[in-house]
């Protein structure tokens, strides 16, 4: 059982340093080896070996393209098509079988394409904007503002409590989860907060537990559409719960043995866990390993 967070490990060399130089971008674009990532709407398409499918640049047609970077020293592009279908989610069927790193390359492309599609106008003045910096930003011809892809930090955390039943962690389920599934609690970080403050606030809001210490565990990109997931563990002094039923359908304290049974998918496990590409899974595995 790997504990590397999902969507990490892409072999992409982003060559950011070239983005400011349109001449280099044109050179990469003219490279006969250049490849274009195949997407179905925003979903990935894989070849017979289960790897991301790439095609020749002509398939971009009239669409603008972004330079993702280099893989195996070959320039890799993605077409910035507007109105891409965001509802397929074939990705979720593919993710368990995508080779390590492929999901990370896809995550980068998906978040970038989706950001362009939903940010075609200047938030500052309303004018239609145009891509710049090799597809890694947009510029407003109206007010000269530059806009960059956004990444929204989300904290995802386990409360940890030592009591008569031993050491336990808090897990919860949202109504939209598959039947029997539980995960770590989570929420968006807000302006003016540190990660530790966001963890503390979310645990209080959703479950009524007061964090006394927060420790970082791991992070991952989550391209639906563009989150940075930051996984933490928070010590709490009391295990009394006050559940926010707007957010959670249920929350419960579970032991190491109960978690191990769930991760092993034992038939009599008390609950089911998210798939390995979700950082909640990483968090569970690392907590069991002593994180």
Binding site for its own copies (CB under 8 A): 5, 7-8, 10, 12, 14, 16-17, 104-105, 107-109, 111-112, 115, 118-128, 136, 145, 147-153, 188-197, 201, 205, 216, 218-221, 223, 226, 228, 230, 244, 246
CB 177 within 8 A of CB 127: no
CB of 203 to its own copies, least distance (A): 13
Question: Which of 247, 283, 246, 281 lies closest to 264, judged by CA?
Answer: 281
Tokens of 259: 């978690």
Distance CA 169, CA 291 (A): 12
d(CA 153, CA 156): 10
CA gap 261, 271 in Å, rounded: 9
- Within the chain, where are the H helices? 22-30, 91-94, 102-118, 195-207, 256-263, 279-288
DSSP string, 226-272: TEEEEEEEEEES-------TTT-SEEEEEEHHHHHHHHTT-TT-SSB
DSSP state for residue 51 in the 8-state scheme: S
Nearer to its own copies, 97 or 246 (CB): 246
For tokens 């995802």, what's the residue?
156
């Amino acid at each position: 059982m790997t504990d590397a967070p999902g969507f990490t490990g892409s072999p992409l060399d982003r060559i950011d340093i070239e983005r400011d130089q349109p001449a280099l971008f044109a050179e990469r674009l003219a490279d006969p080896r250049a490849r274009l990532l195949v997407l179905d709407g925003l979903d990935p398409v894989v070849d017979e070996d289960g790897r991301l499918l790439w095609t020749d640049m002509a398939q971009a047609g009239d669409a603008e393209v972004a330079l993702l970077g280099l893989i195996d020293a070959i320039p890799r592009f993605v077409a910035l098509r507007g109105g891409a279908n965001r509802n397929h989610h074939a990705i979720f069927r593919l993710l368990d079988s995508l080779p390590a790193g492929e999901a990370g390359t896809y995550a980068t492309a998906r978040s970038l394409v989706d950001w362009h599609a939903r940010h075609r106008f200047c938030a500052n003045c309303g004018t239609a904007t145009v891509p710049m910096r090799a597809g890694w930003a947009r510029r407003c011809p109206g007010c000269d503002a530059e806009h960059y892809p956004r990444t929204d930090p989300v904290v995802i955390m386990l409360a940890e409590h030592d009591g008569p039943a031993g050491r336990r962690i808090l897990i919860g389920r949202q109504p939209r989860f598959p039947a029997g599934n539980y995960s770590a609690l989570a929420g968006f970080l807000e302006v003016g907060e540190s990660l530790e403050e966001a963890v503390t606030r979310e645990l209080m809001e959703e479950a009524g537990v007061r964090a006394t210490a927060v420790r970082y565990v791991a992070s991952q990109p989550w391209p639906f559409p563009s989150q940075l997931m930051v996984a933490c563990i928070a010590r709490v002094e009391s295990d009394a719960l006050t559940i926010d039923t707007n957010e959670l359908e249920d929350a419960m304290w579970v032991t190491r043995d109960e978690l191990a049974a769930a991760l092993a998918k034992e038939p009599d496990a008390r609950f089911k866990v998210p798939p390995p590409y979700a950082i909640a899974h990483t968090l569970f595995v690392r907590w069991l390993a002593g994180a």
